[in-house]
Amino acid sequence: MDSPSLQPLLLFVQSLISGILVGGVYALIGIGLTIIFGVMRIINFAHGDIMMIGMYLTFNLFTLAGVDPFVSIAVCIPVMFLFGGLLQKLFINRILNALPQNQILLTIGLGLIMSNTMMLIYTSDYKILTTDYSSSSFSLMGISISQPLAISFIITAVITAVLYWFLMKTDMGQAIRATAQDRQAAQLMGINVKRMSIIAFGLGAALAGTAGALISPTYYIFPQIGSTFTLKAFVITVLGGMGSVIGATLGGILIGIAESLGAVYISSGWKEVLVYVIFLLVLLFKPSGLLGKSRM
Amino acid sequence: MSIFGEIIGTIRRVSPLPLLTFLAVTGALLLFPPLVDSPYALHIMILIFLSVIMGESWNILGGYTGQYSVGHAAYFGAGAYTTMILMQFREVPPWYGMLAGIAVSILTALIIGSICFRLRGPYFVLASIAATEILRLTALNLKDFTNGAEGILATDIPPLQFGSFLVTDFTTKDPFYYIGLVFALAVIAVTWIVQHSKIGYCFQAIREDQDAAHSLGINPSLYKNLSLAISAAFTSLAGSFYAVYIGFIDPTTVLSLDMSVQIVLICIIGGIGTIFGPVVGALVLVPLSEALRSNIITQGLITAGLVNEDSPVGQFLKENLAHAHVLIYGILVVVVILFMPDGVLGFLRKILTGKRRKAA
């Protein structure tokens, strides 16, 4: 990518495209966080750790049973959905009316438990999931595209489309959106808001776990990877507007592009600084986010 | 002058019994090192003092002013890095480095405060985390200045000398013990003053209702920044102390999110917004995580005959439990928030008053 013979325009398009591809997965993590926030008004600080569990699940399926990481999504989605639902029922449900700071600390605590339990089981060694296509890429109009990133982007797009359909067209999706809009009014309309909360948290965990499965061929797998992605998920959701699914999709892709361009034009060490600077600027000047008015 | 008058006024109002207990405990702590000749016991005590300083200083901002910063690693790291850089690369004795660290921290605090204090609730928490992450990544990237990810290792600590008079030489644990004790007592005293002075009342008014406090003529941004500056100065002190005592710092320990969370937890577990909450938190957390780290718990299970040393479970515990001292933080915070939302101190108080009520 940094060969000097590359034309400046080509370099730009190249990094733009790889940014969009990575951004797709970021969007998935962000959408999960935003659904949880929308329905329960809880900021889930364990979100990246839930994603990390998805990564280890995929890693185990691959090393023990030889399941391809992209096929393992079929296992990941239901397992992580149940895991998320269980977390909501056992822990989150009890603090729905607590002080916001206590809600934040509880999810931080849950995240610490998850990452340290994984560290006990798998040690803190970096694990690599190498498939035969992990480093392969194909060329499209002179732009080289990483194969695992391209596949994961397509899967992300399909999942996001199905999710939109679910939220917009199905009865349950509408019930979830109604709960997000006004919890009390939804309850008065006969919606089981407790059940919707469990489903929303399950959905968020499933999306995070899927994102973990999708990035496992391209990232190192280690127990502490979660906090980086939790922070990234916050940046994405705040950028798009807390509680907005379309906003989170847009935010994810924007952050992917910002990181990719930052790595090429500034330096890979400073690219994350750029992300947090954008985050603070958005918080200061447009705290409702880019699409803050719409909710889910 | 009015501040001193206030302090003297509030000291007069102290009831004698708690004061006597406090003085007795302090006296016992002063006599501890000569009586208990064990470096390990001193080490544990020093870590407890460090945690008390960290917890109390966060308490001033989080507990009394109600601003839940999850980015206090910024000030801890600023203190640690300033002291270490001056000591290792400029050969400045750590006492001066510590003062420089406080100055750097207050400056950092005012910059971070000017950004974060415009936000409230969860947005403030997120902004404080982001600001600290920026600092961590900066320390990681400015390799010429901070040694990057390699961190800074203290080779030797220049002693503080006035002419030929040696003040501290840092060759044993004793000076660290007394310095830690004095710092911990100082920060407890400051917290006590904050709780009983007019400035402290302003802090607490902002915590209870910022808009109401504003309409009563309290300038929220002034008092929030003041509270943050006090809090950051003492956190920086803890950072400098940590850097000199441990002798090694790197961005992933002193500037990490884990450090910020740990600072908050000391306070949350003990009891937020109380003078002795962080002390209780430190007394719970430090021995527990040290017991895990030094494998005392596994040894205990083995000697008690609960686990066979050669069995796979025994081997597993022996190898891994030492790495899991952070796990206990996670479990504790979940338990505390679900079952004792006012911390251990609040929980005990509730049990005691409940019993008294039953007796009456």
- Nearest residue, CB atoms, A283 vs list B123, B257, B333: B123
Give pLDDT, residue B9.
63
Q: Which residue of B has its CA nearest to A274?
A: B134
The CA–CA distances, whole Å, from B155 to A155, B39, B78, B148 equal 53, 21, 20, 17
The CA–CA distances, whole Å, from B197 to B23, B43, B91, B194 equal 22, 35, 40, 5
B292 within some domain: no
Phi first, then psi: give them for residue B128, nearest 5 degrees: -65, -35
Name the domain count of chain B: 1
Question: Which tens digit of pLDDT belongs to each residue from A15-30?
Answer: 888 889 989 999 999 9
B153 within some domain: yes
**Cβ–Cβ pairs < 8 A, chains A and B:** 117
What is the value of ipTM here, to two decimals?
Answer: 0.81
B118 within some domain: yes
B327 within some domain: no
Q: Minimal Cα–Cα distance from B230 to chain A, Å? A: 22
- Nearest residue, CB atoms, A112 vs list B118, B125, B330: B330
Give pLDDT, residue A294.
41
**Contact check, Cβ <8 Å, B261/A112:** yes
**Contact check, Cβ <8 Å, A283/B127:** yes
| Residue B77, domain extent | 36-273
Ordered domains of chain A (ranges, CATH): 14-285 (1.10.3470)
Cβ atoms B86, B116 nearer than 8 A: no
Per DSSP (E only), the strands in chain B are: 152-153, 160-162, 165-168, 248-249
- Nearest residue, CB atoms, A106 vs list B140, B329, B337: B337
Question: Which tens digit of pLDDT belongs to each residue from A204-222?
Answer: 999 999 999 998 888 888 8
- What does the pLDDT profile of chain B (360 residues) look like in tens digits? 456 666 666 666 666 677 777 777 777 777 777 777 777 888 888 889 999 999 999 999 988 888 888 889 999 999 999 988 888 787 777 788 888 989 999 999 999 988 888 887 778 888 888 899 899 988 888 887 787 777 788 776 666 655 555 556 666 777 788 888 889 989 998 888 888 888 888 888 888 888 888 888 888 888 889 899 999 999 999 999 998 888 888 888 888 888 888 888 888 888 888 888 888 888 888 888 887 777 676 677 777 666 666 677 767 666 666 666 778 778 888 888 888 877 788 888 888 877 666 665
Q: How far apart are CA A149 and CA A218, in angstroms?
A: 8
Q: Minimal Cα–Cα distance from A119 to chain B, Å? A: 8
**Contact check, Cβ <8 Å, B324/A102:** no
B344 within some domain: no
**Contact check, Cβ <8 Å, A231/B134:** no
B142 within some domain: yes
- With 0-12 / 13-18 / 19 or more C-beta atoms within 10 angstroms meaning exposed / middle / buried, residue A16 is middle
How confident is chain A (296 residues) per 10-residue block, as mean pLDDT? 63 87 91 89 90 93 87 92 93 84 87 89 82 75 80 90 90 88 85 89 94 88 87 87 84 90 82 85 76 50
- Nearest residue, CB atoms, A284 vs list B115, B125, B333: B115
- Sequence-ordered list of residues with C-beta below 8 angstroms from that of B280, at least 6 positions apart, any chain: B269, B270, B271, B343, B344, B345
Chain A positions touching B313 (Cβ under 8 A) are none
Chain A positions touching B123 (Cβ under 8 A) are 238, 283, 287
Q: How far apart are CA B98 and CA B245, in angstroms?
A: 13
**Contact check, Cβ <8 Å, A280/B115:** yes
**Contact check, Cβ <8 Å, A116/B320:** no
B335 within some domain: no
Give pLDDT, residue B114.
86
Chain A residues with CB under 8 Å of a chain B CB are 43, 91, 94-95, 98-102, 104-106, 108-113, 116-117, 119-120, 123-124, 227, 231, 234-235, 238, 267, 269-270, 272-273, 276-277, 279-280, 283-284, 287
Chain B positions touching A235 (Cβ under 8 A) are 130
**Contact check, Cβ <8 Å, B337/A98:** yes
Q: Which residue of B has its CA nearest to A45?
A: B126
Kindly state the tokens that stand for A60. 């185990």
Chain B positions touching A269 (Cβ under 8 A) are 137, 140-141
Give pLDDT, residue A83.
95
Share in percent of chain A as helix, strand, coil (round to 5): 70, 5, 25
**Contact check, Cβ <8 Å, A102/B323:** no
B352 within some domain: no
The CA–CA distances, whole Å, from B45 to B30, B274, B282, B290 equal 12, 21, 10, 11
